[in-house]
């Protein structure tokens, strides 16, 4: 591996690990990390200007952070792309903040439409308002695929088409605790995605998960920071802290590369399918 070629340009910041939902496929159900939120003061100490994109989400609902869109505006003031992923439940309460923040991209995590009437209504409202204002804000529905929800995914895709979102992002379930029960084999995944693209690919852009590699594309392209400003190798390795992220890009990158060089020794990385 040629280390000098590894220059991650996406910074993923877990603005909070608190959440207003309790999804049964979420790893939050098993982790013991204390709940908390990053302060705006600490957020501004991260080397944000050295990245091309800052993704403001982690193991929590970003919209629970009262200063979320102050952070978005700060990212944009540095000329950096700002994105986030949300469950969409609080969007109506903060719609004006979204529209006035300069946010570039928002994804809505939906793996089932059961009980999601408000979320769908919120997405519709956002798309209508951003089109009225002529805003460039890309919208996506992010779907975790697993055995239990395969029959529902076409319905979610159709909802996305009707709403007018810009794309559907598919990704694999990776949960060390339930993956064997609900995960798909490579053959099952390939057939399911091919069938989905054949049926809906001309109506909406579908982004399938990429083939897994070691080190994975996440490690090669992204660095992760927990709400307490501790740098971790990725969102799935939040217990593996590399040091305080309120430092320089070079120091963060050097730590990150040191981890990548030993990635094959990491038990979770050896099992990962992302």
Q: From 88, 140, 143, 159, select the one nearest 119 (Cα to Cα).
A: 88
Cα 12 → chain centroid: 8
**How many distinct structural domains can be found in the chain?**
1
CATH number, residue 52: 3.20.20.70
| 35 in a structural domain | yes
Q: From 108, 46, 45, 104, select the one nearest 80 (Cα to Cα).
A: 104
| 162 in a structural domain | yes
Question: Helix, strand or coil for residue 169?
Answer: strand
| 53 in a structural domain | yes
Give residue-wise pLDDT tens across range 62-117. 999 999 999 999 999 999 999 999 999 999 999 999 999 999 999 999 999 999 99
What confidence category does residue 185 fall into, taking pLDDT thresholds of 50, 70 and 90?
confident
Q: Output the CA torsion 57→110→141→76 (10° steps).
A: -20
| 1 in a structural domain | no
Q: The whole model's pTM is what? A: 0.94
Pairing of strands 206-207, 222-225: unpaired
| 55 in a structural domain | yes
| 127 in a structural domain | yes
Residue matched to tokens 């049926």: 199
| 106 in a structural domain | yes
Give residue-wise pLDDT tens across range 110-155. 999 999 999 999 999 999 999 999 999 999 999 999 989 999 999 9
Can you give the three-state secondary structure of 196-256, one letter per residue?
HHHHHCCCCCEECCCCCCCCCHHHHHEEEECCCCEEECCCCCCCCCCEECCCCHHHHHHHH
Distance CA 71, CA 249 (A): 19
Distance CA 69, CA 48 (A): 15
Q: What φ, ψ does residue 101 adopt, rounded to 5°?
A: -90, -20
> 81, 87 in Cβ contact below 8 A?
no
DSSP 111-131: S--TT-HHHHHHHHHHHHHHH
Range of the domain at 199: 7-271
| 2 in a structural domain | no
């Amino acid at each position: 591996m040629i280390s000098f070629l590894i220059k991650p340009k996406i910074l993923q910041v877990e603005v909070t690990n608190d959440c207003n939902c309790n999804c049964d496929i979420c790893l939050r159900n098993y982790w013991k990390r204390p709940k908390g939120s990053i302060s705006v003061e600490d957020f501004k100490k991260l080397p944000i200007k050295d990245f091309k994109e800052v993704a403001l989400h982690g193991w929590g609902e970003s919209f629970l952070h009262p200063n979320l869109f102050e952070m978005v505006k700060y990212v944009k003031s540095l000329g950096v792309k700002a994105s986030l992923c949300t469950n969409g439940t609080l969007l109506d309460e903060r719609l004006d903040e979204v529209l006035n923040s300069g946010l570039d991209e928002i994804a809505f995590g939906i793996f089932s439409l059961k009980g999601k009437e408000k979320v769908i209504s919120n997405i519709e409202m956002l798309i209508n308002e951003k089109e009225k204002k002529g805003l460039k804000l890309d919208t996506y529905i992010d779907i975790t695929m697993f055995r239990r929800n395969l029959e529902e995914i076409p319905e979610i895709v159709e909802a996305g088409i009707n709403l007018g979102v810009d794309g559907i992002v598919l990704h694999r379930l990776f949960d060390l605790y339930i993956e064997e029960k609900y995960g798909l084999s490579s053959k099952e995944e390939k057939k399911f995605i091919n069938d989905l693209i054949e049926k809906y690919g001309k109506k909406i852009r579908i982004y399938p998960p990429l083939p897994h590699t070691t080190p994975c594309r996440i490690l090669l392209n992204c660095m992760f920071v927990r709400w307490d400003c501790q740098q971790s190798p990725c969102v799935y390795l939040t217990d593996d802290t590399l040091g305080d992220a309120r430092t320089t890009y070079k120091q963060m990158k050097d730590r990150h590369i040191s981890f990548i060089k030993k990635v094959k020794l990491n038990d979770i990385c050896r099992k990962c399918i992302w």
